[in-house]
Each structure stands twice: as structure tokens, then as C-alpha cells.
Amino acid sequence: MSPLFPTEFCVALAPGRIEITRRAYGLKRRIESWRRADLAPAGGETSGWRFAIDALAELLAGESSIRGRVQVVLSSHWVRFQVVPWNAGITTPAEFAEYARACFAQVHGEVTDGWETRVDPAAAGQGRMACAIDRELLANLAELIEGRGRRLIGVQPYLMHAFNPIASLVGRKRFLFVLVEPGRATLAAADRGAWCSVSNSPLAEGDDALAALIGRELQLIGDGAPTEVLVHAPRVASESLARVEAAGWQLIPAGGGADYAMAWGTRPR
């Protein structure tokens, strides 16, 4: 393939699940192939990231075709989020990164010493979305993927991987974006182009659990409640989604089949 039209792989990691898509970039991006591995050992805990890393290592060992540029998408189970407020006294990116680390430490304590923190850019005066990921997890990913003709080009939280394709859909509206995975929901609110709040919560089972969680989040936001609620929940039971639609909230579809939705990302209507 011409170097002008490179091929790129997206590896999505979640508890009990790995998804891989092969994407070609030409005049228009397209998905060439995809595969999924469901991780269900005879015993033991599958929610920890070490289990997923071990499973990915085994998968890549048998997949010589996965070469070139590799992007990794991480489940919200393994990412912490925070909207870092604007501080006019901070003038450089390095200072803001240190400020973000301090904000995480204030909430989570000394455990943050082992986290890598990243902050999205934003206009002056606006809060910025920040994420923190276990530094050991990132190091293991880099060591695993680099070499054998592979190059790690980035690690992205599922939240941003799902939201970025629809960012132009919401623009500067007031909205709540809800990303739902099995057992977890991440809810990010924005107003006039600026992030206002984010929560990353366990999601109980039951048809009413998702609608109840969104309702509580809207109550917490209060008088500035979003005028639009956007829900991306490709692996949630249809009964729960029926309650979401009944509430007047918009479902955002996956870019491809639901079985590979995490690696595909979203598609605006």
C-alpha cells in the first residue's frame, strides 16, 4: 500500500474483551477488517488490566498481520477523569500539567503518584478535561506493542474515542454525553464549548439503572442542566435503551457493528 495511504490498527481493551480493527486512510477512511476476542477464563478476576494485557500479548503473538501503526483505546474501567478548573495564574503547559496532577491527588490521594496525567487543550477561561491512567499499564502497552513491525501511536480513553467523532454535532450546545459499557457509565457535561463536569460510575444491572443514573446526574448538575442528552451504549440491552429513548434522550450509534463498537467509535446521525 502506498505510504500516502497508511494502514492503522485500533486495539480496544476492556474487561473481558479485546477488539481490533484495521483502518485504511485514503481519500476516505475505511475499515478493512475487524476481530474480537472474548476473555472468559475458567476462574479468576477479569476486570483488572493485567489480565487484558496478558490476553493481548497472547493474541499478538499469533497475529503477524498486525503490523504498522497501532492506536489503543482504553475502557473507562481503567481511566480516571476530572474537569480541571481554569486558573489564570498558570501560564505554561507544564504548570497546567502539574496543576492537573494536584487536582487528582486532592481527590484520590497518594495513589496518584503512580498515574500518568494528560489534559485536553481548551480556550483561556475554560475548564479542561483531564484523564489519569496507571503508569505501569501504559509502560506495559508500549513494551508489548513496540517492535515486530508495530509502532504505538497513542493511547486514548474510550470516552474521547467515542465523543470526538460527534463533537461537531453538539458544537457549543449545552449537553450531557453518556458513554455506557457493561458495568460502567461515564457522564461528561459541557456548555458553550467548555467541559463542566465528568463522573465515572459503576452501573448496576437492571432495565431502569441507566435511566436512573442519567436522571441523578442531571439533578446534580442543577439549574444548568443540559438541554440535550447523548447516549452511546452499543452493548446495553434494548429494554434499557427503550427507557432512554422514552425520556427524549438521543442514542448515538456505533460506527460499525455493535460487536466491535469500542474499536469502531461512533457515527453521528
Task: Report pLDDT digits (tens) over 168-204.
Answer: 888 888 999 999 999 999 999 999 889 999 999 999 8
Mean pLDDT of the chain: 87
| Selection from 135, 177, 176, 148 nearest residue 266 by Cα | 177
Q: What is the mean pLDDT of residues 40-61?
A: 79
Q: Confidence class of residue 255 from pLDDT cuts 50, 70 and 90?
A: confident
Determine the length of the chain. 269
CA angle 163, 166, 168 (to 5 degrees): 125
Residue 83 DSSP SS3: strand
CATH numbers and ranges of domains, the chain: 7-75+134-159 (3.30.420.40)
In Å, how far are 144, 183, 199 from 179, measured between CA atoms?
28, 11, 11
**Spatial strand order in the sheet of 79-84:** 79-84, 128-134, 115-119
The structure's pTM equals: 0.91
Q: Are 214 and 231 in contact (CB under 8 A)?
A: yes
pLDDT tens digit string along 76-130? 999 999 999 988 888 788 888 899 999 999 999 999 999 999 998 888 888 899 9
Q: Are 180 and 233 in contact (CB under 8 A)?
A: yes
d(CA 164, CA 146): 26
Residue 268 has pLDDT above 80, yes or no: no
Pairing of strands 7-14, 68-74: parallel
